[in-house]
Amino acid sequence: MTNTTTDIQADSAALSTRVRGVHRQYPTGVTVVTAAVDAKPYGLAVNAFSSISLDPPLVLVCVNESSNSYGAVFASSHIGINILAADQIDVASVFAKSGGDKFTELKWELSELGVPVLAGVAGHFELEVKYKIPAYSHTIFVGQVVEAASADKAPLVYQAGQFFDGTRLEPVR
C-alpha cells in the first residue's frame, strides 16, 4: 500500500511531537547572546549554547535568522554569551521577547571589545566569531573565547518550558 500525502503529513506531525518531547527531557542553562552595532546593544535568550573545545577555547550558539537581534549578531566580529544566574528569571523574560530596547531597565556595560555584558550574571564569555554556519532557519556561530569571567552564583536552569532554581540542585551522589 502506498503512503498518501495525508499519511506523510501525519507521520511528520507525529515525529515533530516526539522530537519536542525529547527536547523537553534535556535541561539547559539560559544565556543571553549580545552584540552591539554603533554602541547600540542587542540581545536574545538562547539555550542552544555549547562548549566545543578548550584548546583552543571554542563555543557555539545557534540563532534564528528571524530574530530581531540576528542582524546585529551576524554583523559583529565579537559577541557576548551571558550565563544567567538563578535570580535572573526577569532578565530571561526580557530577552525572550522580540524587539524593543531590552537594555533600558537593566544594568549592563560595553566591554573594551565593544560587547554588551549584563550585570549580575553567573558568568560571561566574549567571543571572536570564527565561523557562521547556515543551518536552515538558524545560523550556528562558532567563536573563540577571548574573555571569560564567572561569579559565585548558581545558574538559572531551563527544562520543558519552565525555569528552575539552580541553587537547589542536589548532587546524585
Residue ranges that bind ligand FMN, judged by CB under 6 A: 30, 44-48, 62-64, 67-69, 95-99, 158
Cell readout for 141 is 556561530
Task: Give the span between the Cα atoms of 67 and 44, in whole angstroms.
Answer: 8
Contacts of 71 (CB under 8 A, 6+ apart): 37
Q: How far is the CB of 33 from ligand FMN (least distance, A)?
A: 8
Residue 81 has a CB neighbour count (10 Å cut-off) of 25
Residue number, 99 or 171, with CB nearest to ligand FMN: 99
Q: How far is the CB of 9 from ligand FMN (least distance, A)?
A: 26
Cell readout for 164 is 528552575
Residue number, 9 or 40, with CB nearest to ligand FMN: 40
Contacts of 10 (CB under 8 A, 6+ apart): none
Q: How far is the CB of 55 from ligand FMN (least distance, A)?
A: 25
Q: How far is the CB of 93 from ligand FMN (least distance, A)?
A: 8
Residue number, 58 or 140, with CB nearest to ligand FMN: 140
Tell me the residue length of the chain. 173
Residue number, 43 or 117, with CB nearest to ligand FMN: 43
